[in-house]
């Protein structure tokens, strides 16, 4: 019973950590591009700064994810990562030009890569995908809280300083919560009392080859997404004339949709369902979202696109995580999920550079059109798994789930 209570307590803490992490990241992500543009006066340098952050994060994810698998001390990596992230995000208030902002973002990239793989590995329950969905969904809720909080704070204070002080404080609160994580690490112990579950001899290269198809499809879609995200706050602020509160609400709507969708549809997905179907649907819907951005002219046009984006990302991200975790051995869980985060960061590097250059040469809307085309290419790659029949079955599965929920509500 004590073990069950400890597991429940750890799940609650992991939900809180996902909430805190993404609240801080959401609060800062909303205004870093705008701050970078104000300090440098160049869309291209905005992309360079975002790319630098992605480089540091990608290397950190891979390195610390492998260390976590090797030594098995997942909780320690989570605690150290949150403490380092708190320091890095507090340091954002010290940036006064493009170079200092770049240095601070490099530090933030390294710090946030320390805990990522270990935290997902701790969250994983191999026999129940729904538990992982429930924990990950609090990251989306955190993004909602962070973006709304940052938008309101910036609107009230007309200063970015308080936004980054808020981001650092949230990571510090997460560090305090992480101190209560169960000290007994996952994995079986041998007669000598040492843990062997994570003593995997497989290399990162082996893990990458084993899951190469998942990473490749994910990266292609996210290159397109990152190109738009690098300039999206600028687009909303300059072309659609959104204020701080409206900016926050746009990001928050996406996050709220993710939280609801993950806790209704994705939380009920069993291990027998083919997760490739969700990846296919996720990348196709993403292409539609970026087309909607391209055609938008008012705040109202962005609202349905954000709802659709929340559904698309939930299917893509959780589908990828389920595949990686369910096929990984005990000594590969942190590594395989950390490599997915690395793939995301590498995509940010490429996409941010592409987005900055494209915006400089052809304007902000051209970036969104390119993003839609890249997501279409990702969809075509994803079809190699199961084809159009699999996609149709996946959409039918989702529709059936929603129909059941509607019938229950009517009853």
Which pair of structure tokens corresponds to residue 363? 């304007």
- Helix, strand or coil, per DSSP, at residue 72: coil
Residue 193 falls within a domain, yes or no? no
DSSP 41: -
Tell me the HSE value of 396 on the side-chain side, using a 13 A CA sphere. 8
- Distance between CA atoms of 241 and 235, rounded to whole angstroms? 8
Q: Token digits for 35?
A: 């701050």
Question: 0.75 cut: is pTM over it?
Answer: yes
Q: How confident is the model at residue 187 (pLDDT cuts 50, 70, 90)?
A: very low
Q: Is 189 helix (H, G, I), strand (E, B) or coil?
A: strand
Q: What is the CATH number of the domain that holds 125?
A: 1.20.1250.20
Res 400 pLDDT > 70 = no
**What pLDDT is attached to residue 344?**
86
**Pairwise CA distance, residues 275 & 278, whole Å:** 5
Interacting residues of 269 by C-beta distance below 8 A, sequence separation 6+: 129, 130, 133, 275, 278, 318, 322
* Residue for token pair 């992500």: 29
Highest mean pLDDT of the ranges 102-106, 123-127, 158-162: 102-106
Residue 104 or residue 66, greater confidence:
104
Task: Reduce the DSSP state of residue 24 to 3 states and report it.
Answer: helix
Separation of alpha carbons 346 and 125, rounded Å = 28
Count of the separate structural domains present in the chain: 1
> Residue 310: phi, psi to the nearest 5?
-60, -40
pLDDT digits (tens, 9 = 90+) for 218-249: 999 999 998 998 888 888 888 888 877 787 78
Considering just the CA atoms, what is the radius of gyration of the chain in Å?
Answer: 20
Contact 123, 136 (CB under 8 A): yes
> Is there a domain that residue 196 lies in?
no
192 within domain boundaries: no
Q: How far is CA 63 from the centre of its chain?
A: 18
Mean of pLDDT over the chain: 81
Q: How confident is the model at residue 111 (pLDDT cuts 50, 70, 90)?
A: very high
Residue 269 has pLDDT above 80, yes or no: no
Q: Is the pLDDT of residue 134 over 80?
A: yes
**CA angle centred on 259, ends 138 and 16, rounded to 5°:** 10
Confidence of residue 367 (pLDDT cuts 50, 70, 90): very high
d(CA 141, CA 359): 31
104: in domain:
yes
What's the pLDDT at 102? 93
Query: Would 60 be classed as within a structural domain?
Result: yes
Closest CA to 394 of 382, 381, 405: 382
Question: 103 is in which domain, residue-wise?
Answer: 2-183+202-410
The Cα 216–Cα 28 span in angstroms is 28
| Distance of alpha carbon 164 from alpha carbon 61, whole angstroms | 23
Contact 235, 226 (CB under 8 A): no
Q: Alpha-carbon distance 36 to 26, whole Å?
A: 16
CA distance 391 to 97: 48
Contact 106, 59 (CB under 8 A): no
Q: What is the average pLDDT across 310-314?
A: 93
String of b and e for 357-378 (b: at least 16 CB within 10 Å)? bbbbeeebbebbbbbbebbbbb
């Amino acid at each position: 019973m004590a073990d069950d209570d400890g597991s429940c307590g750890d799940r609650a803490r992991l939900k809180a950590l996902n909430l805190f992490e993404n609240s801080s990241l959401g609060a800062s992500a909303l205004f870093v591009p705008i701050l970078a543009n104000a300090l440098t006066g160049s869309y291209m340098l905005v992309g360079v700064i975002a790319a630098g952050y992605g480089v540091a994060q990608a290397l950190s994810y891979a390195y610390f994810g492998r260390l976590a698998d090797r030594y098995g001390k997942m909780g320690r990596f989570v605690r150290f990562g949150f403490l380092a992230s708190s320091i890095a995000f507090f340091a954002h208030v010290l940036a006064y030009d493009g170079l200092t902002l770049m240095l601070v973002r490099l530090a933030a990239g390294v710090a946030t890569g320390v805990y990522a793989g270990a935290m997902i590995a701790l969250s994983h329950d191999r026999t129940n995908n729904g538990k992982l969905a429930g924990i990950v969904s609090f990251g989306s809720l955190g993004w909602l809280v962070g973006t709304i909080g940052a938008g309101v704070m910036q609107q009230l204070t007309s200063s970015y300083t308080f936004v980054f002080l808020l981001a650092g404080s949230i990571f510090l609160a997460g560090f305090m919560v992480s101190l209560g994580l169960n000290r007994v690490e996952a994995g079986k112990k041998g007669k000598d009392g040492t843990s062997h579950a994570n003593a995997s001899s497989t290399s990162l290269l082996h893990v990458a080859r084993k899951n190469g198809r998942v990473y490749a499809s994910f990266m292609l879609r996210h290159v397109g997404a990152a190109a738009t995200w690098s300039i999206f706050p600028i687009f909303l602020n300059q072309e659609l004339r959104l204020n701080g509160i409206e900016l926050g609400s746009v990001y928050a709507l996406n996050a709220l949709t993710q939280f609801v969708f993950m806790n209704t549809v994705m939380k009920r997905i069993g291990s027998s369902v083919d997760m490739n179907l969700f990846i296919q649907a996720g990348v196709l819907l993403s292409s539609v979202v970026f087309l909607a951005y391209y055609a938008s002219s008012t705040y109202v046009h962005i609202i349905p696109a954000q709802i659709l984006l929340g559904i698309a990302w939930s299917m893509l991200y959780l589908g990828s995580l389920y595949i990686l975790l369910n096929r990984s051995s005990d000594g590969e869980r942190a590594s395989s999920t950390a490599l997915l985060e690395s793939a995301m960061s590498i995509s940010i590097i490429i996409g941010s550079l592409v987005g900055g250059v494209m915006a400089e040469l052809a304007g902000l809307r051209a970036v969104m059109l390119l993003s839609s085309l890249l997501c279409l290419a990702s969809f075509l790659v994803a079809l190699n798994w199961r084809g159009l029949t699999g996609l149709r079955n996946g959409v039918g599965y989702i529709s059936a789930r929603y129909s059941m929920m509607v019938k229950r509500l009517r009853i």
